[in-house]
Amino acid sequence: MVGSVAKFLELYPSAKLTTEPVSNATSFNCLIAGQWINVDKSSLTEPERFLLSLMSQGDASKAVQNNWWQFLTGKSDDHPTMNKNVRIIQFEIQKNETKKDSFEWLKVFRETFDDVVDSFLISNNSGILIEKESASCMDKENVQQMVQLLDSDFYTNSNVYIGQFWSVDEKLPNIFKVERRLFNKSVEMRERVNNLSTVVLDFLVEQNLKNTDLFESLREKIEIDHRSTQMIDALYRCDSNLAKTSKMLFLHRNTLLYRIEKFYEQTGFDLKDRDDLVLCFLLLK
């Protein structure tokens, strides 16, 4: 079921956002735009209870038992042992009629990635794929093409959010909490496949990300040296014009291109892409 989380919270002021279905019998668990929302039954009128009973999708018996999910949502302090960074890809599949259909979609989705650590559903039509960082990892454009083919084959409309690569440590659950919110925001956007660079500007209007573990970790990732931060600033101020930027930095154009490619290899951010450039500029402010 897809809808506006903000509108739902406006209609039901007592509702609360949660990371998974709440384990009790005194409330409804509804999945709206990839976000679990819990509503206390005692605050509802009889008509409202009837309507939400039709939407309710989760209770204690349906809580996700996957070990990765337990760690990412803070239910377990034991994090998986990984010697490589991972990224979390979140998805919501519209128009699938049963959970079996979603399993079939996920099976094909998973097979297109080379280094999958785990994949699982967290509701009838949404789930998680966790991928190890490697040289063969697909970029946003490749994932977008793959999802378009999947939707064509399965007659679905899918929303996918591609997370950044992170170390598997005690910070990851807090980072994932923010990426869940970014995913929920991405569902409202025109593009079906999004990442931090395409969502962050819209999201910053509504939220303050500056002091989160996600932003602090990203800032550490891109502050490689003074030369890199100077290049980001110059590219932004020159509106991505390479000739103007080269002149401002007293560099040959080919040297600038080499540094941009080197920065991409080290961080995963392509400064020739306007969204990535704006994100990196904001991180340094």
Q: Counting every residue, how long is the chain?
A: 285
CA 244/CA 124 separation, integer angstroms: 51
CA 36/CA 32 separation, integer angstroms: 6
Q: What is the pLDDT of residues 238-281, one digit of tens each?
A: 999 999 999 999 999 999 999 999 999 999 899 999 889 988 98
Residue for token pair 């980072």: 175
Q: Would the pLDDT of 231 be above 80?
A: yes
CA 160/CA 89 separation, integer angstroms: 7
pTM here is 0.66
CA 217/CA 255 separation, integer angstroms: 28
Residue 97 and residue 60 in contact, taking contact as beta carbons nearer than 8 Å = no
Q: List the chain domain ranges.
A: 5-62, 67-197, 223-283
For residue 87, give the nearest of 119, 132, 120 by alpha carbon: 132
166 or 81, which is more confident?
166
Q: Would the pLDDT of 148 be above 90?
A: yes
Q: Which residues, 6+ apart, have CB-to-CB distance to 206 below 8 Å? A: 185
Q: Would the pLDDT of 159 be above 60?
A: yes
Residue 174 confidence (pLDDT):
93
Q: How do 157-166 and 193-195 pair as beta strands?
A: parallel
Backbone φ, ψ for residue 39 (5° rounding): -125, 125
Mean pLDDT of 132-156: 93
Q: What is the pLDDT of residues 71-105, one digit of tens each?
A: 998 888 888 888 899 999 999 998 766 778 889 99
CA 134/CA 138 separation, integer angstroms: 9
What residues does 155 pair with on adjacent strands? Answer: none
Q: Which two tokens stand for residue 280?
A: 């990196």
CA 127/CA 92 separation, integer angstroms: 7
Residue 60's pLDDT band (boundaries 50, 70, 90)? very low
CATH no. for 67-197: 3.30.70.270
**Superfamily assignment of 223-283 in CATH?**
PucR C-terminal helix-turn-helix domain (1.10.10.2840)
CA 278/CA 235 separation, integer angstroms: 10
Residue 21's pLDDT band (boundaries 50, 70, 90)? low
Residue 168 confidence (pLDDT):
94
